[in-house]
Amino acid sequence: MMTMDQPELHSNISQVRERLSNAAKRANRPASDIRLIAVSKTKPFEAIRYAFAAGITDFGENYVAEGVEKRRLCSDLDITWHFLGPVQSNKTRHIAENFDWIHSVDRLKTASRLNAQRPVDKAPLNVCLQVNIPYEETKSGLTTTSELVELASAIQQLERLSLRGIMAIPPPCADPHLQREQFKLIASLLNTDGLPNHVDELSMGMSGDMEAAIAEGSTMVRIGTDIFGARYT
Ligand SMILES: *Cc1c(COP(=O)(O)O)cnc(C)c1O
């Protein structure tokens, strides 16, 4: 597998940090309110170690087995692990046992399994609900605010889960104005009647649209390509 060298990775990370802080400044927000998650899916664990050495402490993975293996290979590092991918029921145990956050919950069945399987010696698993708004046929996620409120209320009853926010992957689009409109719509969901006030995290923004996401209130940007380079698998 192709790996970029360490200086190149460090320079990518500096550039992404700079973009993040510039976008925060333009939005009159402290950069420290925005968590930078490096999405390391398909990249070797060495890349994670390099990025950690450059100060990155949050990593996102999309595939359960791959994420669990990399966590094992980096178990000496104090990393916060985020699961971002679609969830299959038979994989929930590995997520509950190995990750600190899951951004992609869109069903009570998944939430109940994660709750039952979260080890008692760990803090409750942080959960974001994935919304598919604006609606796209190919994406998973909740599609109405009533579904969102219903699932949020049910999860509030689950003691081993901590409901934190909303995640979305809006359709890629090159126009910054349209990007902002999409993110504004997603951010407005936090004000939905019936959604608890403490649910205030917005996981939105990727390599191509992180500035627009930050302008609309993102608290967690998920950056893969612009940190680790293109993915070949
Ligand atoms: C791959 C992925 C990312 C990172 O995307 P880039 O465009 O490479 O920055 C972010 N979020 C999710 C859910 C992903 O699957």
- Identify the structural domains of the chain with CATH numbers, from first to last: 6-228 (3.20.20.10)
Ligand 1 near 62 CB (within 6 A): yes
Ligand 1 near 222 CB (within 6 A): yes
Which atom of ligand 1 is closest in space to residue 39's alpha carbon? 4
Ligand 1 near 207 CB (within 6 A): yes
Q: How far is the CA of 224 from the centre of ligand 1 (A)?
A: 5
The residues, any chain, with a CB within 8 Å of residue 188's CB and separated by 6 or more, are none
List % helix, strand, coil for the chain (3-state, nearest 5): 45, 20, 40
Q: How far is the CA of 121 from the centre of ligand 1 (A)?
A: 30
> Is a pLDDT exceeding 60 seen at residue 1?
no
Ligand 1 near 74 CB (within 6 A): no
Ligand 1 near 104 CB (within 6 A): no
Of the candidates 20, 19, 56, 14, the residue with the CA atom closest to the CA atom of residue 38: 56
Q: Which of 4, 39, 106, 223 to mutate to test the pocket of ligand 1 (most atoms within 8 A of CB)?
A: 39
Average per-residue pLDDT for the chain: 96
- Region 151-162: mean pLDDT is 98
Q: How far is the CA of 68 from the centre of ligand 1 (A)?
A: 18
**Is the CB of residue 82 less than 8 Å from the CB of residue 61?**
yes
* Element of type H or E holding 223: strand 220-223
Which atom of ligand 1 is closest in space to residue 37's alpha carbon? 10
Ligand 1 near 84 CB (within 6 A): yes
Q: How far is the CA of 120 from the centre of ligand 1 (A)?
A: 30
Does the predicted TM-score (pTM) go above 0.85? yes
The residues, any chain, with a CB within 8 Å of residue 51's CB and separated by 6 or more, are 9, 13, 38, 40, 59, 227, 228
Strand runs labelled E in 30-177? 35-39, 58-61, 80-83, 101-105, 125-131, 161-168
Of the candidates 188, 92, 103, the residue with the CA atom closest to the CA atom of residue 141: 103
Q: What per-residue confidence (pLDDT) applies to 5?
A: 86
What confidence tier does 137 reach under pLDDT thresholds 50, 70, 90?
A: confident
- Region 64-78: mean pLDDT is 98
- Region 16-44: mean pLDDT is 98
Residue nearest to atom 12 of ligand 1 (CA): 84
Q: How far is the CA of 37 from the centre of ligand 1 (A)?
A: 10
Ligand 1 near 67 CB (within 6 A): no
> Is a pLDDT exceeding 80 seen at residue 84?
yes
> Is a pLDDT exceeding 90 seen at residue 153?
yes
> Is a pLDDT exceeding 80 seen at residue 233?
no
> Is a pLDDT exceeding 70 seen at residue 62?
yes
Q: What per-residue confidence (pLDDT) applies to 139?
A: 86
Q: What per-residue confidence (pLDDT) applies to 133?
A: 85
